[in-house]
Amino acid sequence: MVHPEDCDALVIGAGPAGLMAAEIMASAGRQVIICDAKPSPARKFLMAGKSGLNLLNAAPLPDQIATYAEASDWLAPMLGDFGPAQIHSWAEGLGQSLFTGSSGRIFPHSMKASPLLRAWLARLQDMGVSLRRGWRWTGGAFHFATPDGLRQLTPQVTVLAMGGASWPRLGSDGGWRATLMSRGIACTSFQPANMGFAVAWSDHMRPHFGQPIKGARLSAGPHSLRAEFVLSERGVEGGGIYALSRPLRDGAKLTLDMFPDLDAATLNARLARRPTKESRANRLRKALGLTGARLALVNELERHPDGATLKALLLPLGQPHPIAEAISTAGGIARAELDPGLMLRKWPGTFAAGEMLDWEAPTGGYLLTACLATGHWAGRHAALYR
């Protein structure tokens, strides 16, 4: 028989949203227990920081809010309450000085997530927050499978912050969705976000896998940006693809302008100056400077390239890469299921934050910003719940 353990405030999930909710509740005087299914906290956060922790973006706040599309009006008060400026100060308060890169992305000078996480966990410990590792919520009335067997907690207030469904090996497997839906709480289906796409390459592309395509402008429907992307055996990925992943996932065609600084007439004039007997590859190389992976991509996509086609190469995409390989997910708890303080209307005293909520963010710091902002918001309202 499992004997319930009373607790004041419970957080399930030790990622950025959960840790922030715990900090805010603890600072309000609540006794907080954090339960996380993994042996160590914030694994996805640490993995994201391996290539440089993009914590924030330097764009003006109204522009940042607009990136959340249909969720922008929902998230706006949360980002206004604890948004980029406040997160910047919070990080520096943990001893992590930040700098802004040329792209407007903001990073810690250490470039890693681990120093910030260590300082954050130490602060939470000093505040009396208890972190229980390897405690996996099995649903129902807060039953947990733990290293010491089945346990049950009976909290006065709870914040759920278990992430979406990307990178399940790091802990965000979306298994909570079935539990909430069994309580009549509507959850929209998960979709991959910030992910690559399959491409049916010919064998001629094989030597160029792993190579970046630089200097191109990518367009999908009304969306366009200048960014690099990477050719892979399975297709295309990288920053430029991730930034357009939503319209591409929704069916928009991907076109490439390989020479965004030149018009079609200039390209045609340069091509016309080459001898007509030259091979296609030599004409493109000598007239336009196309070499390596860029030349291979043009040859793959267009048999008779001219100025017009080089300004609008169609790159046929297959399916998006699966959720398990996506940076993040779209979908989650439907907005209508939450009150203005992020409490579940059908489960009083239980709040939700982070990627569990049905919003989607592009890369560039926006994902972490909203996770921290919603964690702060849920924690502040949960702290007041009696």
* Residue 377 counted as domain residue: yes
pLDDT tens for the chain, 386 residues long, are 677 899 999 999 999 999 999 999 999 999 999 999 999 999 999 998 777 899 999 999 999 999 999 999 999 999 999 999 999 999 999 999 999 998 899 999 999 999 999 999 999 999 999 999 999 999 878 999 999 999 999 999 999 999 999 989 998 899 999 999 999 999 999 999 999 999 999 999 999 999 999 999 999 999 999 999 999 999 999 999 999 999 999 999 999 999 999 999 999 999 999 998 899 889 999 999 999 999 999 999 999 999 999 999 999 999 999 999 999 999 999 999 999 999 999 999 999 999 999 999 999 999 999 999 999 999 999 999 98
* Token pair for 118: 């260590």
CB 174 within 8 A of CB 190: yes
Confidence (pLDDT) at 141: 84
C-alpha 208/C-alpha 228 separation (Å) is: 15
Tell whether 87 is covered by a domain: yes
Question: What CATH number is attached to the domain comprising 178?
Answer: 3.50.50.60
- Do both 44 and 180 map to the same domain? yes
294 and 170 within one domain = no
Domain residue limits at 124: 5-193+324-384
pLDDT tens, position by position, 1-59: 677 899 999 999 999 999 999 999 999 999 999 999 999 999 999 998 777 899 999 99
Calculate helix-pair angle for 16-27, 114-126, nearest 10 degrees.
30
Quick one: which of 50, 41, 47, 49 has its CA closest to 20? 41
Q: Are residues 189 and 207 located together in one domain of the fold?
A: no
* Contact indicator for 179, 29 with CB cutoff of 8 Å: no
Same domain (yes/no): 240, 93? no
Model pTM?
0.93
What is the domain count for the chain? 2
What is the structure's pLDDT at 317? 98
Is 319 within a domain? Answer: no
Does 295 reside within a domain?
A: yes
Whether residue 127 sits in one domain with residue 229 = no
- Among residues 266, 290, 314, which one ends one of the domains? 314
Same domain, 171 and 74: yes
Largest Cα–Cα distance in the chain? 87
329 with 236, same domain: the answer is no
Same structural domain, 211 and 300: yes
Final residue before a domain boundary, out of 254, 284, 314: 314
Cross-strand pairs, 151: 144
Asked whether residue 53 falls in the same domain as residue 121, the answer is yes
- Cβ(133)–Cβ(33) below 8 Å: no
Instruction: Indicate if 20 and 79 belong to the same structural domain.
Output: yes
Residues 6+ apart with CB under 8 A from 233: 201, 206, 209
Enumerate residues 6+ apart whose C-beta is below 8 A from 242.
194, 195, 196, 327, 362, 363
Residues 310 and 373 in one domain: no
Q: Which amino acid, 280?
A: R
Q: Rounded to 5, what percent of the chain is helix, strand, coil?
A: 40, 25, 40
**Model pLDDT, residue 9:** 98
Q: Are residues 147 and 186 in the same domain?
A: yes
**What does each C-alpha distance from 105 to 364, 365, 368 come to in angstroms?**
6, 7, 12
Using the 3D structure, point to which of 291, 314, 337 is the last residue of a domain.
314
**Residue 370, domain member (yes or no):** yes
